[in-house]
Structure 1
Amino acid sequence: MTQHGKTDSSSSISARQVTKTVTTGEGKLQILQPISFEVMAGESIAIVGASGSGKSTLLGLLAGLDETSSGEIWLEGSPLHNLDEEARARLRGEKVGFIFQSFMLVQSLTALENVMLPAQIAGLSDPKGRAEQILDQVGLSHRAHHYPNQLSGGEQQRVAIARAFIGQPKILFADEPTGNLDAANSGKVEQLLFDLNKQNGTTLVLVTHDDELAARCQRQLRMHAGELSEVALKEAS
């Protein structure tokens, strides 16, 4: 980190003393204890831990989908913690891709239209051409005009990955990206994530219960009762 409250230029994500507290019928519940860590540009990180440990909450905060209770999050040099919802949405559109476990495809749009959507919203040139190209990359050119309910779970997740990558985001967040898939499709989706990560130099931060998927990342961080710790560092090959 540098002085004057900014992050090192090699940091893609910087979290400083980040907490999350919610109010319940029984009072305040602290979901995240103070968390601080850095993610370097192009790095792949797996966040692991039991259900209810705070993994998805942390991922949502890092992606700007939710607000911290305290602390700072810097995303590609921008102070996420100081931005309102409109500014966070703009930053997400420019810098972030997000893959959900439940795919989150628009049911009334074809695969091609689903992938085009973020590019159209962002005002990128030739959204159709971009979408066709990335659908080809994920092996779904032949399914471009099918609707989500006509696609298998593995195909839907590949469409979701294509949609997340169409804007060539600096950072990709993935919440249990293989959680709803069988072993064969999990393997395909897993390989695709790392291939696109490598090709685009995209920072990859994923939440997973899949030990094999986590082991492919350069670092693993474990959430336990709202606290974060480093559990493994992949040896250089």
Structure 2
Amino acid sequence: MTTLLKVEQITKTVRSNGEDLKILHPISFQIADGESVAIIGRSGSGKSTLLSLLAGLDVVSSGEISLGEHQLHQLSEEQRAALRKQYVGFVFQSFMLVQSLTALENVMLPLELAGKTDAKQHALELLEKVGLKERGHHYPNQLSGGEQQRVAVARAFASQPKILFADEPTGNLDAENGKIVENLLFELNQQAGTTLVLVTHDTQLAKRCQRQLTMQAGHLTESTGVENSVQSDYTADEQASDKKEQVA
């Protein structure tokens, strides 16, 4: 299989209280085109930091990340933004919909930014796939959390990204809506051949991925059993901690 994402000995260090704080120790791995991968681990382990580096939202302190033929560490902020527009889709725990736009307009937005002439028709088709075609005229505050996340999934797939990054995509949803969104991610992943990279505390969701990578204190290992890698009782305090560790 063709390698889509290649990570070679990357580290991330930040300055905190006048001292260097190493968030990520040297990490190397590869993700194949069309593969589904879960990044798991406890709060503060470095999961979201790693995700932001993989997506080109942040830059490494050392090492190299290649997305397709592009080496992220050699690109400017503007070049990385252009690459994300072409290659990358996102689904966040907090939905991140534009509140002043309807569901249909939210899904149309990346298509219009890409200059697509059939943006409305394509957006309607995507809303139909996620079961919300009749809700397209509603604004985010008129939709349930599960419906908002389904709109976010439709928007993420609108630009037909090569790779989709999802940061705790079911974290703010009840069990029923979480399962709906989970199924949608994998169905669209398989239909479109999109590479899927998930950050999650949900062991059942992680096990649906072809591979599981575990983060622990800034170190990464390939998992053999996700049950022992993530604490099952994901507490409110940990959820609050993860919200602070945002993709920026």
What is the one-letter code of the residue matched to 1:154? G
The correspondence for 1:197, drawn from 183, 186, 189, is: 189
Alpha-carbon distance in structure 2 between the residues aligned to 1:120 and 1:67: 28
Alpha-carbon distance in structure 2 between the residues aligned to 1:46 and 1:141: 30
Q: Percent identity?
A: 65
Structure 2: runs of 5 or more not aligned: 227-248
Does residue 1:104 correspond to 2:96, yes or no? Answer: yes
SS in 1 for 2:106: helix
Alpha-carbon distance in structure 2 between the residues aligned to 1:64 and 1:137: 29
| Map of 2:54 onto structure 1 | 62
Counterparts in 2 of 1:71-150, with a 5 A limit?
A: 71-150=63-142
Structure 1: runs of 5 or more not aligned: 1-8
| Map of 1:33 onto structure 2 | 25
TM-score, reference length from structure 2: 0.89
SS in 2 for 1:232: coil
SS in 2 for 1:125: coil
Q: Which moved more, 1:19-28 or 1:213-222?
A: 19-28
Alpha-carbon distance in structure 2 between the residues aligned to 1:51 and 1:97: 24
Alpha carbon RMSD of aligned pairs, Å?
1.2
SS in 1 for 2:224: strand
Q: CA deviation at 1:120?
A: 1.1
Alpha-carbon distance in structure 2 between the residues aligned to 1:26 and 1:209: 32
Alpha-carbon distance in structure 2 between the residues aligned to 1:60 and 1:232: 25
Q: CA deviation at 1:124?
A: 2.3
Q: CA deviation at 1:179?
A: 0.3
Alpha-carbon distance in structure 2 between the residues aligned to 1:125 and 1:226: 44
Aligned length: 226
| Map of 2:212 onto structure 1 | 220
TM-score, reference length from structure 1: 0.93
| Map of 1:160 onto structure 2 | 152
| Map of 1:3 onto structure 2 | none
Q: Which moved more, 1:84-93 or 1:19-28?
A: 19-28
- Per-residue displacement from partner, 1:153-186 (whole Å, max 9, x unpaired)? 0000000000000011110000000000000000
What is the one-letter code of the residue matched to 2:66? W
SS in 2 for 1:67: coil
Alpha-carbon distance in structure 2 between the residues aligned to 1:232 and 1:156: 33
Runs of 4+ in 1 over 4 A off after TM superposition: none
Contact 1:218 1:233 in 2 (8 A): no
Q: Which moved more, 1:119-128 or 1:10-19?
A: 119-128
| Map of 2:174 onto structure 1 | 182
| Map of 2:236 onto structure 1 | none
SS in 2 for 1:46: strand
Q: CA deviation at 1:126?
A: 1.1
Q: CA deviation at 1:77?
A: 1.8
Alpha-carbon distance in structure 1 between the residues aligned to 2:120 and 2:225: 40
Alpha-carbon distance in structure 1 between the residues aligned to 2:116 and 2:72: 23
